[in-house]
Amino acid sequence: LTIGMDVVGDLFRVSDMLFMPSHREGFGMPVLEAALVGMPIVSTEIPAAVELGEDSVILVDDGEDPAYVAGRIIGWLERSPVYRLRRQVRQNYTWDAIFHRDVEPLLLGAG
């Protein structure tokens, strides 16, 4: 299955992180694509992630407890000011949120 670059771009725009628990990967295009959009990368220690990401990739062992790995990821995200700002914008500045917070009170007050 091949998806177009427009879909890949959409997926990167709505994602907080690239999680790549691969056992092997060819050239490492997901690592390069995520790096180009400034997305944090979590990957198993495959050569592509180690070589391309150097010390900028969060590496996990595929034998680690999934709950422990998830806790590490969540902890890293919660400490990231970029992630916190993205989450705040997505929660508070959707059209629905803006309408309910700013427009609806005006309409209800006018009645």
Assess whether pLDDT exceeds 80 at residue 80. yes
Give per-residue pLDDT as tens, 13-46: 888 899 998 887 777 888 888 888 888 999 998 8
pLDDT of residue 69: 93
pLDDT of residue 105: 93
Structure-token pair, residue 110: 């006018």
- Burial degree of 4 (CB within 10 A; 0-12, 13-18, 19+): exposed
pLDDT of residue 66: 93
Assess whether pLDDT exceeds 90 at residue 55. no
pLDDT of residue 111: 57
Assess whether pLDDT exceeds 90 at residue 99. yes
Q: Radius of gyration (Cα) for the chain, nearest Å?
A: 19
What is the Cα–Cα distance from 59 to 98, expressed in whole angstroms? 38
